[in-house]
Chain A
């Protein structure tokens, strides 16, 4: 790139990349949030079900 450029372009690129990647992860976890919580409740409902009679 241009040496001595007024903006640290590489650093901005890296930071920007990091921000976009984080935003993608955020979107992912946001979307699956309710599904994951529902899955956890399902797992939890399995656990005491067979027990208690031994």
Chain B
């Protein structure tokens, strides 16, 4: 356990027993004895909060990831906007200089006013970039320090601890929303981010093999129009993946669809047009479309695969007890069979109707899981068919095994309409400043609110617009 956590636990226990001991003092010091039950309760609350500590942080991170938000776009957008503001400031200087030279009126006062407002906007954007860096790199540390402060006896650090805890939790959710905030007011300033369901398709689908459903496969939609725009989904039980969360729908456009399963990568479709190529489907309430993906492999069980190369036609017959009979008709003389499975399961070859010529095993790690892959080469008489009987066996623990995948919508670079940004910054400078600063202010208010809930006392927010 983290040393900070150990200290915090010790502090919580100390608080509790201090309360007990104060109850025991034989001298009737009422001022001190009033604290006794408070200390006992504080010790228990702190112990509870400490026990769920990292779980709470992971819960919030998981929530954010499931919604499809991530922090990188905010950092990119705020940096681009900073440059836009600096361009606006240069433009302003130019305009003032030209106006001052051609017309005989001195516009200096106007310059100072507008420039200071632009400078405020710049400060707000720089603060945003700094917040993104801080949260991205130090959130666990800050969270633990907050917990530590919270556990101090006599409520010394309660307010500070509660504020730190809520700062980390709230910003984890708020900061990724900045591009959506800007887009809400300024229409298409960040065109990759759409507000309002007009141009987003919500869909689901099943990833299936020739036999079986490939649960645990990772489906990636990569935009062919905006390089660096990638949506990633995990196919869950039954092989179904869902693109149905508010920020995880797929924007209208053209995509390349790639499925990664146990290290095998299949490009299922290299130019899928959304929504034209999608099938309208109303069986699932949160999605309007369905897109099933078919892989040319056999899936005998969870996180396993049988891949055949050199077959013209493959038929699979299911038999009891997890046994599959595979029939491969081929014109080739050599058929390569690969059986791949994750630690905790195995695919056994019970029978083969042809002679095994070569055998090789390799082990590798795929998304945090240890995978074994056996390559078997069979020599098949010409125009005959190869029959294999395999059995899939799994140990009970396999249900909870999931590949490591971050299901987010990822942008490698921010496409910000810079012209739009400079015009808004210059022409509507006051409004632009207020909108950017208002985001930070709302963020602070929500942090203060949550801190009050945790700490039980109002947090003062210095208001400065």
Residues of A within 8 A of B (CB): 15, 18-19, 22-23, 25-26, 29-30, 33, 36-37, 40-41, 43-45, 47-48, 51-54
Contacts and interface: CB of A to CB of B under 8 A. Distances in A.
Contact of B23 (A26, A40, A47, A48): A26
Contacts of B402: 53
B23 A43 contact: no
Contact of A29 (B20, B51, B59): B20
Contacts, number: 60
Q: Which of B23, B47, B402 has the most CB of A within 10 A?
A: B23
Contacts of A23: 23-24, 26
Nearest to B58: A48
A29 to B, nearest CB: 5
Given A15-B28, A47-B52, A54-B66, A22 B33 contact: yes
Nearest to A21: B23
Contacts of A25: 23, 36-37
Interface stretch (B11-19, B97-105, B165-173, B367-375): B11-19
Chain A interface, DSSP helix/strand/loop, else mixed: helix
B13 A37 contact: yes
A26 B36 CA distance: 9
Contacts of A48: 52, 55, 58-59
Given A19-B26, A25-B23, A33 B17 contact: yes
Interface in B34-72: 36-37, 40, 44, 47-48, 51-52, 55, 58-59, 62, 66
Nearest to B30: A18
B59 A51 contact: yes
A18 B59 contact: no
Interface in B1-33: 13, 16-17, 19-21, 23-24, 26, 28, 33
Nearest to A53: B402
A43 to B, nearest CB: 7
Contacts of A43: 48, 51
Nearest to A20: B26
A52 B54 CA distance: 13
A44 B52 contact: yes
Nearest to A44: B51
Given A15-B28, A25-B37, A29-B19, 14 more contacts: A19-B28, A23-B24, A25-B36, A26-B21, A30-B20, A33-B20, A37-B47, A40-B44, A40-B51, A41-B51, A44-B55, A48-B52, A48-B59, A54-B66
A44 B52 CA distance: 5
Contacts of B62: 51-52, 54
Nearest to A52: B62
Q: Which of A26, A41, A45, A52 has the most CB of B within 10 A?
A: A26
B229 to A, nearest CB: 25
A36 B44 contact: yes
12 contacts: A23-B24, A23-B26, A25-B36, A30-B20, A33-B16, A33-B17, A37-B16, A43-B51, A44-B55, A47-B52, A51-B55, A54-B62
Contacts of A54: 62, 66
